[in-house]
A and B are shown apart, each in its own frame.
Chain A
Amino acid sequence: MFENLSEKLQATFSKLARKGRLSESDVDAGLREVRLALLEADVNYRVVKDFIARVRERAIGAEVAKSLTPAQQMVKIVHEELIALLGQPAKLNLSGQAPHVIMLVGLQGSGKTTMAAKLALYLRRDGHKPLLVAADPYRPAAITQLEVLGRQLGIPVHAEDVRTRPEEVAARAVKMAAGGAYSVVILDTAGRLQIDDEMMDELERISRLVHPREVLLVADAMTGQEAVRVAEGFHARLGLTGLILTKIDGDARGGAALSIRSVTGVPIKFLGVGEKTDALEPFHPDRLASRILGMGDVLTLIEKAEALFDEEQARKMEQKLREASFDLEDFRQQLREVRKMGPLQQVLEMIPGFSQVSRQLPADLPEKQLKRIEAIIDSMTPAERRDPQILNGSRKRRIAMGSGTSVQEVNQLLHQFRDMQRLMKQFSSGRGRGLFSLFQ
């Protein structure tokens, strides 16, 4: 029923009167939803618990900014705390003497081999001379896989017989690179379970031999509650320097990133966003935070709305809502403001509460249609816009002509507008904040 956390919070808070501050009970009601959202996103249970406690402390008694509703204030605090926890994006540390060794580690199937190729391509574009090293003699054809990728990219791959121990392969590759031909060495190690002592010993041996500048945990965005223990396991043995989250191009919310971050403290360095070798993206804490909360880009919208609508305007709008005197003139003005924020459909989808109204409208209200709506409203006289009641047959024909539409379309718009007015009345009388809550 509810699409995302914002809407849930909106619903929770719509029962409350607008107040200057968030009370303890407001906060607790809101935090129940936040807790659920985080658990659904696979953030570890204990990490969620700590997080909620911290947010609670900050939120109780917090002043609700004039431009925001209590729900938005709550979202804002949660979002800010989440961003703080996710930390700032960090670049690869390639300081000191070349060749720099980057070691990729992680569970089986997390995407290390593909990531090794992506990093090599990324670094080459950045002016480095990368060497890929196949240090996984266990998984059938893992070496071939890296060789194929290297060949596709024209990036050299150091590989040896499957019977050679990976630490020897790695050490030889680094020694070779030290000759000056390569500036970065990327080690693709075999996937392993953090509870597999022998295999973890192997990683330690490799690390001791090649002194990696970066030890990056490659983790699948779909990872569940165990992410914390996996990360702890690798961190305790190897001292991770960063995290890469893969397969984020799916619909996983990626709560594992938060779990891993909070138990290891290492920065998130990249996101893997596809199977192609250039599908590598830097990490944006704000975007990942919104994703984990399951609320798309609504926060960007809050910011944009805050910037666009000055308080004076918002106050007037609220008044109109209360008096239910919102007319086509106001509607036109709102449409224009909203359109400044981006492509309409995207904007509509981003507005919590509005999605209820937008469901009344054609599902895929395209820009073109919006232009027609604007044209229709533009063709009305100010008096007509203020009081659409006076629109009789001949006025409608004139408007249709003037806007290059049909009487049918004019009727349709009027009909939709009446629906909208009705909905708004419900919102304003129910003390809820609907359509324009964002703009107050």
Chain B
Amino acid sequence: MFLRRAKSIQESLTKTRRSFFGRLATSLFGRGDLDEAFWDELEESLILADVGVDVTLEVVGNVRRRAEERAMRKASEVEGILRQELVRILSQNQQPYLPGVRDLSVVLVVGVNGSGKTTSIAKLAHYHVARGDRVLLGAADTFRAAAIDQLRIWADRARVDIVAHQPGADPGAVVFDTIQAARARGANVVIVDTAGRLHTKHNLMAELQKIRNVAAKQVHQAPHEVLLVVDATNGQNAIAQARVFGEAVGVTGVVVAKLDSSAKGGVILAIARELGLPIKFVGTGETLDDLAPFDPEAFVAGLFEPVAEEA
């Protein structure tokens, strides 16, 4: 009885913080003493957010050490250093998207099946259009049924042009033609949609390298971005995706799609920490506007936010 009352007072006190550190702010940081149970619960929260065992242990270890160094005794005091620690991991490799100015930028979008590539490309096209760029999409997923039709519909909605061949055509040829067309039409951004593929399929990864080479031969330093689209609902396998796609085609940044789901996408901490890849955008829905540049602080806040059902 007493406990419950105490908790509700605590809750009202932390109401303003609630949307920021959500569940942790109320139930974990609001719990009082820094006891063993607190550290266990923090570990649990991070693992449940798909942060993974390695990074979780490292983060909890670091935060705990710092808390002890500063002789902290209240759980609430830890919130700040935890946030710092997580933001630090996510920020250390951050790099701007398409830095510098050039006549033609080529963006290659890759990822496993169904991760959200095509939709993210549509959003990205929209993002560029809003900045006054002239965008051309290349439909280099010639494999999946109706992938070309899907991109075409998105191109219409985003009011950008698209270059497409027949289903089954050589994706390298599509890229070649797209870049040629971009030059002829004066487009300054080319975004290439590729077929989803599991990183374990060697032949398909080799095909991706070919696509990359076609772009590299035609435009100086192309592709200027190779974006890996990772599904936020994925767990630890996303690390393998990032590693293998990274090695095969030199991924320059990650797009985290489906962050509007109840999943937290914590695996990107491991991707940033272990592979040093910058996170560039997040996708938060199925419309053209649902894309935002990655914001480490907001992401970290979201890690501990309660899901609607639980609140």
Contact = CB atoms under 8 A, between A and B. Distances in A.
A233 B262 CA distance: 11
A220 B233 contact: yes
Contacts of A308: none
B145 A140 contact: no
A53 interface: no
B237 A222 contact: yes
A432 interface: no
A107 B49 contact: no
A36 B52 CA distance: 10
Interface stretch (B71-79, B110-118, B176-184): B110-118
Interface of B is mostly: loop
Interface stretch (A81-89, A224-232, A329-337): A224-232
Nearest to B56: A39
Contact of B286 (A108, A110, A220): A108
Contacts of A194: 262
Contacts of B114: 108-111, 220, 247
Nearest to B197: A275
What secondary structure prevails in chain A residues at the interface with B? loop
A193 B234 contact: no
Contacts of B27: none
A109 B234 CA distance: 11
Interface string A35-68: 0100111101110000000000000000000000
B261 A195 contact: yes
Interface string B258-288: 1011111001000000000000000000100
A145 B145 contact: yes
A107 B44 CA distance: 24
Interface residues of A, number: 47
B15 interface: no
A411 interface: no
Interface string A195-224: 100000000000000000000000011111
Interface in B235-252: 235-238, 240
Nearest to A150: B145
Contact of A247 (B112, B264, B267): B112
A19 interface: no
Contact of B150 (A109, A141, A220, A251): A141
Contacts of A138: 286
Interface in A101-146: 107-111, 138-142, 144-146
B37 to A, nearest CB: 14
B310 to A, nearest CB: 9
Contact of A109 (B146, B231, B264): B231
Nearest to B46: A45
A430 interface: no
The winner among A36, A108, A195, A230 for most chain B CB atoms within 10 A is A108
A140 B153 contact: yes
Interface of A: 36, 39-42, 44-46, 107-111, 138-142, 144-149, 152, 193-195, 220-226, 229-230, 233, 247, 249-253, 255-256, 275
Given A145-B145, A226-B261, 18 more contacts: A42-B237, A45-B44, A46-B48, A140-B149, A140-B153, A144-B150, A145-B146, A145-B147, A193-B260, A195-B307, A195-B308, A220-B114, A224-B50, A224-B267, A225-B263, A229-B307, A249-B198, A250-B198
9 contacts: A46-B48, A109-B113, A140-B149, A141-B152, A142-B146, A220-B231, A224-B263, A225-B263, A255-B235
